[in-house]
Structure formats: structure tokens, C-alpha cells
Structure 1
Amino acid sequence: MPRLLLSNPQKTLLPKFQFFYSKGIPSSNLSVVLSSNPSVLGYNIDNCIIPNFKSFKDFTRCDDSEVFLAYKNCSQILTCNFQSIVAPNVAVLIEHGVPDSHIMTELVDHPRIFVPNHDKFRTTVEEVEKLGFNPLKHNFLLAIRALVQLSKSTWKRKFNVLKKWGWSGKEIVSAFAKYPLFMTLSEHKIAATMNFMVNTMGWKSSVMANRPILLTFSLERRIIPRCSVLQALISKGLIEKTDVGLLIESTEKVFLERFVTPYEDPYLLKLYKEKLGLSGN
């Protein structure tokens, strides 16, 4: 922020650092977060930062480190007016029956969804309810998080990308209901993953429609390395087919236990590490 370069560090910057230090925030954490989210340094410490910090802490009943985590996740938490922007949006969720525990967790981990214009936020919540999401389930907030990020035009473009891969409108809506955040992926990411799954692996497009979370995993760091092991197992006649969800969604430990270790073939682990880019380790 150019104006910070012209400010008096003793008067404008030091009080803010001292405030965060007083809350037990380690200097190493503070420097990293402020370098990536420096906007808070341009706001008044007494009229903005401290009142918002206190309001957030009082409202969520969380500790100082969690308030700082929320700021790390969204700098607007300490720069917008908490009482006039965040609190009214929280009230909408309470009004629609979202459990307090879900709201508080979301406030700390994903506070960005609470800072849109109040009318837009209310409309989004109502849209999610109309789509059939249950306010008592965590997916309700995931759907809000997704729709807050998506403009109508962006939603339409992604809708069309999925239709090109054979998904029906009903399948897209069903997939969104299962895992809303998959629609926040870029169009390129969706297309690239679908291309690999369908054209390289030979799986039906409907597999991903039924398990949309598969699209969210990294091609380079998860999907390709694991699928390479599967292809090797098939080529060696050691396996015929497997559950795609188990292959992609399982933890590293479970994946190795199910697809590598039992076959006692050093090539499998070597191949897996090569695809992960770990062959030199």
C-alpha cells in the first residue's frame, strides 16, 4: 500500500504491531500474515481494528489466536464494521435455523462468506434453501460459500463446461447438492480433470457426476500418480478394477496399504514417487 510508505511508522504502524503482539501472536506468524494481507495496516487502530477484534471475539467466544486466524483467512474481518456487516449476515443464518456451532466454525475458518452486501447474502441463503439444502447440515454453509463466490455468468459457464462432458442439468444440480465447492473450481481445472478421467482412464463421465469431490483433487499431486499405479497394476494383471473413490479419496497411508505394499513390487513405489516428483528423495 503506497500510503503506508509515506506514513510515520512510530505513529501508524508500531501501535498495530504492539496490539497484535499483546494478543500473543508470534512475530513470525504476524510478519507472514501481514505481508500477504497488509490492508489492515492502513486502518485506524482505535476506531477500527481494536473494536472489530473485540466484537469478533465477543461474538464467537473464541480466543485471540482464533480471531487472528479469521483475519488470516479474510482481512476484512478487522477492517469492515463487524456490527453492521457481519452480525446481520450471521442473524440471517440463525433465522434460517443454522446451528450456532456451524456458524462459529465457519466464521473462523471461512469468514469471507459473511462480508458480502446484506441483501446479496440474504438472497444467497434463500437460493440455497430453495435448492433443498438442509440448514442443519454443514453442506448448507458449503453451498452458501460456493454461491457467494460465483456470479451468475460464471455459474452458467461452468454449467456449460460440465454439459459438454455429458452431464445433464439434473446431474449438475445433484452434484452440487453432494459437494457444492466443486463448482468453485476453475473451468480449466474442471475440463482438465474430466479429460484425464474420461479420455485417459476411460471412466464414464457419470462417475464424476456421482462423486464430484473427485474433481477437487490435484491432477499432478494426487490423481495422475495414483492412476499411474492403477494402470501398472492392471497391465501386470494384478488387479482388474477398483473403486475410484477409494483410489483417489483415500489418505496416503490407506492408498499405499491397498495399492502398493501388498504387491511387494518395488516398481510400483518407484513409479508413484516419480509421478509425485519425489524420485530424487
Structure 2
Amino acid sequence: MIRPLKHGSSILDSDLERVVKPNVSLLREFGLGPCAIAKLCLAQPWLLTCNVECVRATAVCVQGLGIPRGSGMFRHALSAVAFVSEEKIAAKVEHLKKTFRWSDAEVGIAISKAPNVLNKTKEFLQRRSEFLISDLGLEPAYIAHRPVMLSYSLEGRLRPRSYVVKFLKANGLLDPDRDLYSVLVVTEKVFMERYICPHKEAAPCLAPDYADACKGLMPTNFRFT
């Protein structure tokens, strides 16, 4: 618990029996184990020091978003909604539905898989919606089931890798049924090994064009009509 103490010195001033222990007990009641509580308090030390009813209200709010207590994402969701009123959370949910054309069920799926989407700005989400739905033509339901892609850099990962996939498919160098998400989630090292390096002879322009795309440029070879 040393690191949480460094990040939240108010823990040292809090009553162990009347404040800290009740909050820990409450978090355990909602399915968090010792390790999860320690990790949570690295990001949100206030969960050990504030009024226990505030912590309970936050946990109940998370459940209301459709994230069951004890699930792997419960801790992340607690951190995501910390210090955010129910009204603002509801507004964020409505904005997600409007921006990505999600149904109630779909926005619930997205939040349960990636609670941090609640922390993204409107501009951040709008740019990804325009690219993923308007430019790439992905279905809203597809994105809802894979919301982690919303956290990726638009310029550093989403755009350039999408361009590479489209280029490879257009030139018969990649299975046309290859799922885009499977390409987006791999590390940069794996991406290079699987989708760039094997095509040095067939497409010598690919590596430099990909490098340019990562810098925000649009190589001629990646312009599709």
C-alpha cells in the first residue's frame, strides 16, 4: 500500500477504523479483491478516504451502467466515473449513443468492455466516429463489441493500419475476409512482421508509405477511389 499513500497523503490523516476500513469492506462487498483495491486506489486514492456512502453511490452507479460487481471491468469503471455526477454520466451515455448510433444495448456493451470511453472528450469521440463509421463503413454494432479501438491513436494506429489493410486487399496480398480489428489490436512489432515486412518485394512502397501515413501524410498509394 506504499504507492497509494504516496499518491494520496490524506490516507495518512484518515481514521483507519471509521473511514478506511469501511471503504475497503465496501469495495470487497462489490467483488474487488485486495490487489484490485490496491490498483484502484493508485488511480483514485479518495476511495479510501471519503465518506463510505459516496463510495457506495459510485459503485451502485457502475452497476447501473450494466457492469456487474466482481467483473474484471468493475474496477476500471469505478475509476472512470469517479467525481462524476449521475447526470453527467447519463449525458455522456447519451452522447455515445448519438455519436456512434448505438442502441441502449450496444452502448451498454461498449461501456462494459471499455469503461474509459466515458472519459473521452466529444471531439475525441466524434473524430473516431467519422473515421470508423463514415470513412471505413464499419457498423455501429461492430464497434460496440470492440470499443477498445476507440482508445487507439487516430493518426498513429487507426488510419495508417486501415490504409495498409485496404492496400493489401486491393492488391491481392491479404485475405479479403481478414478482420480489421485483428490487425488493429496487435503490437507495432507484430504488425510490421505480419503486414509490412512480408511484402517488401511485392510492394516495396508499402513500408515508406506506412511510415508517412503514421506522420499524418497521405501517400498516393493509399488514395482509394
TM-score bin, normalised by smaller chain: 0.7 to 0.9
Unaligned runs of 5+ in 1: 1-59, 72-76
Q: Deviations over 1:14-60 (max 9, x none)?
A: xxxxxxxxxxxxxxxxxxxxxxxxxxxxxxxxxxxxxxxxxxxxxx2
User: 1:80 and 1:102 mapped to 2: Cα distance?
Assistant: 17
> Normalising to structure 2: TM-score of the pair?
0.80
**1:276 partnered with 2:214:** yes
**1:160 partnered with 2:98:** no
What's the offset of the Cα at 1:88? 4.1
User: 2:122 and 2:46 mapped to 1: Cα distance?
Assistant: 22
Preserved CA contact (<8 Å) 1:133 1:139: yes
User: 1:242 and 1:232 mapped to 2: Cα distance?
Assistant: 13
Specify the alignment match of 1:256 in structure 2.
192
Specify the alignment match of 2:126 in structure 1.
191
Specify the alignment match of 2:165 in structure 1.
230
Q: Deviations over 1:217-269 (max 9, x none)?
A: 11112111211212222332323242222121111112112221222233211
User: 1:235 and 1:113 mapped to 2: Cα distance?
Assistant: 53
Higher relative contact order (CA closer than 8 Å, sequence separation 6+): 2
**1:133 partnered with 2:46:** no
Specify the alignment match of 1:27 in structure 2.
none
Answer with 218-227 or 118-127: which moved more.
118-127
User: 1:157 and 1:130 mapped to 2: Cα distance?
Assistant: 14
What's the offset of the Cα at 1:87? 4.9
Q: Residue 150 of structure 1 aligns to a residue in which SS? A: coil
CA 209–132 in structure 1, closer or farther in 2 if over 3 Å, else same: closer
> Normalising to structure 1: TM-score of the pair?
0.65
Give the partner amino acid of 1:275.
A
**Map 1:82-97 → 2, pairs under 5 A:** 82-84=13-15, 87-97=21-31
User: 1:145 and 1:135 mapped to 2: Cα distance?
Assistant: 14
What's the offset of the Cα at 1:216? 0.9
Give the partner amino acid of 1:248.
L
Preserved CA contact (<8 Å) 2:66 2:108: no
Specify the alignment match of 2:135 in structure 1.
200
User: 2:63 and 2:87 mapped to 1: Cα distance?
Assistant: 21
Give the partner amino acid of 1:83.
S
Preserved CA contact (<8 Å) 1:171 1:209: yes
Given candidates 158, 175, 179, the residue that maps to 2:110 is 175
Q: Which has the larger radius of gyration?
A: 1
Preserved CA contact (<8 Å) 1:146 1:183: yes
CA 234–250 in structure 1, closer or farther in 2 if over 3 Å, else same: same
CA RMSD of aligned residues (A): 2.6
User: 1:272 and 1:113 mapped to 2: Cα distance?
Assistant: 44
Preserved CA contact (<8 Å) 1:175 1:212: yes
Give the partner amino acid of 1:277.
K
Unaligned runs of 5+ in 2: 218-225
Preserved CA contact (<8 Å) 2:4 2:41: no
Q: Deviations over 1:123-154 (max 9, x none)?
A: 11123345553443331111111221533343
User: 2:96 and 2:4 mapped to 1: Cα distance?
Assistant: 38
User: 1:149 and 1:189 mapped to 2: Cα distance?
Assistant: 21
Specify the alignment match of 1:211 in structure 2.
146
CA 263–142 in structure 1, closer or farther in 2 if over 3 Å, else same: same
CA 82–139 in structure 1, closer or farther in 2 if over 3 Å, else same: farther
Given candidates 156, 159, 177, the residue that maps to 1:221 is 156
User: 2:128 and 2:210 mapped to 1: Cα distance?
Assistant: 19
Given candidates 44, 48, 60, the residue that maps to 1:111 is 44
**Map 1:17-56 → 2, pairs under 5 A:** none
What's the offset of the Cα at 1:183? 1.8
